[in-house]
């Protein structure tokens, strides 16, 4: 899991701010990388399947693999829809079919097309599947991780996408024990401490002071936030800011808005494309 200290990033801002003023001045930032991204992004209220693929879209291969997965699961659902063991089919068949290789800074298009995933994209996959089969759930956001919790016919469960062997946790006590591993003291909704990537493998997750319930639209915002961190580390500052604009539009959380404001100071942003 990649993290960098808040004081370090402030120092970086201070060191390059004068150069940024010379290089950038009053910028007009192009928010969308392509017309295809813009088209998919604008479906955020209607179709989460396409919204999640708006970052670096690769629709043809992704849709083909998605259709193969749901074809298998639809057959299981016709026989087990009311049974708790259907959760096992969703979890393990998804790992067998799509969630093949963990990498930080994954995006959902690569998850569908190539099987490359992190906790954000893996959780997104499970969320779409649970939506398809009418299983209630919500997504849990911590400092540097996300996972999915739900209730299936009165039975509590967790789907932890980055733990392929035993990331399906079933039962109230088991779910409570899973949650407890993340927390030290009471959670705080104002828990922004350091800009960080969300995408760690579960075994490396540390105690958190952030605990938010989010939905798939907000998860898509975290995907753009992760990509902004990647571009910032590559010193592609305008591109990083463009990703933060989209991230904040989908999910105006403290951590996203905080970094977006710092980037506006850095780049002296005056004008950017309207959203959506």
- DSSP letter (8 states) at residue 196: B
Could you give the percent of the chain with pLDDT greater than 70?
Answer: 75
More confident residue, 4 or 101: 101
Q: How many CB atoms lie within 10 A of CB 123?
A: 28
Partners of 140 in the β-ladder: 147, 213
Residue with tokens 């975290």: 222
Coil/strand/helix, residue 213: strand
pLDDT recorded at residue 20 = 37
User: CA 123, CA 202: separation in Å to the nearest integer?
Assistant: 12
What is the bridge-based pairing of β-strands 101-102 and 116-117?
parallel
The confidence band for 269, taking pLDDT boundaries of 50, 70 and 90, is low
- DSSP letter (8 states) at residue 141: E
**What are the phi and psi torsion angles at 151 (to 5°)?**
-140, 120
Q: Which of 10-19, 31-40, 202-211 has the lowest mean pLDDT?
A: 10-19
Instruction: Give the pLDDT confidence of 168-180 residue by residue, as tens digits.
Output: 999 999 999 888 8
Coil/strand/helix, residue 276: coil
User: CA 18, CA 44: separation in Å to the nearest integer?
Assistant: 37
The confidence band for 144, taking pLDDT boundaries of 50, 70 and 90, is confident
pLDDT recorded at residue 104 = 87
Instruction: Give the pLDDT confidence of 55-88 residue by residue, as tens digits.
Output: 999 888 899 999 999 999 999 998 876 788 999 9
Instruction: Give the pLDDT confidence of 89-135 residue by residue, as tens digits.
Output: 999 999 999 999 999 889 999 999 999 999 999 999 999 999 999 99
Its sign, for the CA torsion 59, 62, 68, 70, is negative
Mean pLDDT, the chain, rounded, equals: 81
């Amino acid at each position: 899991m990649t993290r960098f200290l808040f004081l370090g990033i402030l120092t970086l801002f201070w060191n390059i701010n004068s150069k940024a003023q010379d290089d950038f001045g009053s910028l007009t930032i192009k928010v969308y990388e392509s017309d295809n991204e813009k088209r998919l992004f604008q479906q955020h209220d209607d179709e989460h399947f396409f919204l999640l693929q708006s970052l670096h879209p690769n629709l043809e291969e992704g849709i083909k693999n998605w259709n193969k997965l749901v074809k298998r699961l639809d057959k299981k659902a016709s026989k087990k829809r009311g049974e708790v063991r259907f959760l096992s089919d969703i979890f393990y068949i998804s790992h067998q079919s799509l969630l093949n290789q963990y990498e930080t800074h994954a995006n959902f298009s690569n998850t569908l097309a190539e099987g490359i995933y992190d906790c954000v994209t893996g959780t997104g996959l499970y969320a779409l599947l649970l939506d398809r089969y009418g299983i209630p759930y919500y997504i849990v956001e911590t400092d540097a991780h996300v996972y999915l919790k739900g209730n299936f016919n009165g039975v509590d469960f967790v789907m932890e996408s980055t733990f392929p062997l035993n990331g399906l946790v079933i039962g109230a006590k088991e779910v409570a024990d899973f949650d407890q591993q993340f927390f030290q003291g009471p959670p705080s909704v104002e828990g922004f401490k350091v800009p960080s990537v969300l995408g760690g493998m579960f075994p490396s997750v540390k105690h958190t002071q952030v605990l938010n319930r989010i939905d798939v639209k907000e998860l898509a915002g975290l995907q753009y936030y992760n990509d902004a961190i990647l571009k910032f580390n590559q010193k592609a500052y305008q591109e990083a800011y463009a990703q933060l604009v989209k991230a904040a539009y989908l999910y105006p959380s403290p951590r996203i808005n905080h970094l977006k404001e710092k980037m506006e100071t850095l780049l002296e942003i005056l004008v950017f494309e309207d959203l959506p």
